Amino acid sequence: MIGKALGVAAFRLAFTARRRRLNPAQTALPAQSVTLTSPSGTIAGWFVPGVGGRGAVLLLHGVTDNRLKMIERMRFLHRRRHAVLAIDFQAHGMSEGRYITLGDRESDDARAAVAWLRENAPGEKIAAIGISLGGAAALVGAEPLAVDALALESVYPDLYRATRNRLRAFLGPLGETLTPLAIALGAQATGADVDKLAPVEAISRFRGPVFILSGTRDPWTPIEEARELHARATAPKRLWEVAGARHEDLCRYAPDEYRRRMGAFLDESLA
């Protein structure tokens, strides 16, 4: 009993909120600070208006990060004249929330952000770009995001494999043995509904263009898992295997190729 209590406490510490004060001046863009309401609480974000008819893009960051991580994408998209909304998920940045839930409550935040864009960029087609946790949040829940196109960067197929891969990297074969226990403790610590955290099971329900990007040397999401996600997606779909990249910011790893490929995807999807 004591061991279990210590385990739950450790997971609560690992997934406790990651707060950070952010200022729109950090973007060097005409960004507006906005708030929106999600079932998980008040969500903070930056919105950059675009040119009518160019579409809007929602940016969803990875675990323990915040919208500051999305600045290079924001600048790239602003140059392309898209409207851009970047949010902090619950328990990240300046948003409310007590614990990170690996896509459970964050999926509510993503849906709330889409609703906000529908109201504040009326008539525009919407694409979402989600990194790791952000991509999972775009897929899991009752339904995938109701957007016109979806780009998924370094997204895990299901929570079991995401946990196993990380534990195995640090603990070897013991990591796989401990995976079910780790997931159970994490669920108890954060209150997350871990059974629904399986993007690979949800992606076939998304009806729209899909762009999957993943590094060929990613230890957390091996390229075989990205290929499986791509195989489950419905057409039209595309896959970019980023040669040599690990679980890192693909926009910074291969900036020119990223901008070329993502720009082509958005041009085709938001036209």
Provide block-wise average pLDDT over 10 residues at a time, the chain (271 residues). Answer: 63 88 96 97 98 97 96 98 98 96 95 98 97 97 95 96 92 91 87 89 96 97 97 98 97 98 97 84
| Domain tally, the chain | 1
Q: What pLDDT was estimated at residue 3?
A: 53
Residue 162 lies in a domain: no
Burial group, residue 271, by CB count within 10 angstroms (0-12, 13-18, 19+) = exposed
Using DSSP bridges, classify how beta strands 83-87 and 237-242 pair: parallel, antiparallel or unpaired: unpaired
User: Is 191 part of any domain?
Assistant: no
Range of the domain at 223: 17-157+196-270
Rg (CA), the chain: 18
186 domain residue, yes or no: no
**Residue 217 domain-assigned?**
yes
pLDDT at residue number 111: 98
pTM of the model: 0.96
Does residue 126 form part of some domain? yes
Asked whether the beta carbons of 118 and 36 are under 8 A apart, the reply is no
- Residue 165 domain-assigned (yes or no): no
Query: What pLDDT score was predicted for residue 13?
Result: 81
In order of 10, 108, 175, the CA distances from 3 in angstroms are 10, 33, 18
Is 3 contained in some domain?
no
CATH of the domain at 223: 3.40.50.1820
| CA angle centred on 71, ends 35 and 257, rounded to 5° | 135
Q: What is the pLDDT of residue 76?
A: 98
CB 132 within 8 A of CB 155: yes
pLDDT value for 192: 86
Alpha helices in 121-254 (DSSP H): 133-139, 159-171, 173-190, 199-202, 223-232, 250-253
Indicate whether 79 belongs to any domain. yes
- Predicted confidence at residue 229, as pLDDT, reads 98
